[in-house]
Copies of this chain bind each other. A is one copy, B any other.
């Protein structure tokens, strides 16, 4: 990794964890700067010494930064981008950690055109926990990080961004914004929606059933504790791919309900065995 000053915009779980992970690299030539909107967040970040510069003002954070990372909610990115664009140089690499990429790239790409080098990132290292207090230096260890250059992106910038996330411990994959969004709709947004819908279904059908949950329910619904406002925004920004995923899920559920009704044990077992085979394959991925 070849950056001398990293500016992190937003002191949430991801922003703070990036700061902690960079600090752990113990690179004396690397300056870590963190911007937070609220003065209380600035004070907290300062008292925990998670960055060399912490400020509610953009100028000291952005000054001479050669990597800028947006770690704010997707809906706040464009306005912030307009503010920082005059503060950076043509060579500055700019990225974000948003969970949706087509809409972010479409929104930030034009703002930074000819003013910086922008490429979207999505480190899949979230948690149902939020904020600086949940931050961890090892949050990115072995996490998948997708980077999504558009057609305008320079080859060099892709390499530099890949090196950055790998230095934090990520396994990096490069793909298009659209491809990214279709994939996360299936493996991230749909699971979140299912977890929430499962909790609401059980509670709606029989409220007392929630008093009888075992480990299966615990794990399948853990992510339903995630922040509702953030997930609402993610769902809205990825509406069409998510809609396709939900429809595919409903169709598959209807199919399996028909199988269960038919009493065709072999077909039910084949359905479960196919899922087990695929899921077993993932185990190495999670280690």
Contact = CB atoms under 8 A, between A and B. Distances in A.
A77 interface: no
A56 interface: no
A250 interface: yes
Nearest to A125: B214
B280 A260 contact: no
Contacts of A192: 216
Interface string A160-188: 00000000000001000000001110111
A265 B232 contact: yes
Contacts of A205: 186, 244-245, 248
Nearest to A249: B201
A60 interface: no
B208 A183 contact: yes
Contacts of A195: 216, 220, 275, 279
A166 to B, nearest CB: 16
Contact of A199 (B124, B214, B278): B278
Contacts of A286: 213, 215, 218
B187 A248 contact: no
Chain A's interface: helix, strand, loop or mixed, by majority? helix
Contact of A200 (B191, B193, B274): B274
- How many identical chains are in the complex? 2
Contacts of A187: 202, 209-210, 212-214, 216-217
A9 B189 CA distance: 43
A210 B246 contact: no
B200 A183 contact: no
Interface in A47-68: none
Interface string A215-229: 111111111111111
Interface stretch (A16-24, A81-89, A235-243): A235-243
A269 interface: yes
A247 interface: yes
Nearest to A212: B183
B206 A272 contact: no
Given A191-B220, A235-B260, 10 more contacts: A182-B209, A187-B213, A188-B217, A190-B201, A194-B194, A215-B286, A216-B223, A224-B272, A226-B276, A228-B270
